[in-house]
Amino acid sequence: MTKRKDSAKKAIRDIRRATRRQYSAEEKIRIVLEGLRADYP
């Protein structure tokens, strides 16, 4: 049973890793700059 759980967890982890969004360098820079420009109360 433990072996089945481990393989299920590995499958879920692999799917999440494969579907994770990949950002280009330009997108990362834009996101950081937007955060720095945000108005702080």
pLDDT for the residue 27: 94
**Residue 1 pLDDT > 70:** no
Q: Domain range holding 32? A: 2-37
Q: How far apart are CA 7 and CA 15, in angstroms?
A: 12
Domain count, the chain: 1
- Taking the model in full, what pTM does it have? 0.46
Say if residue 17 is exposed, middle or buried (CB neighbours under 10 Å; 0-12, 13-18, 19+). exposed
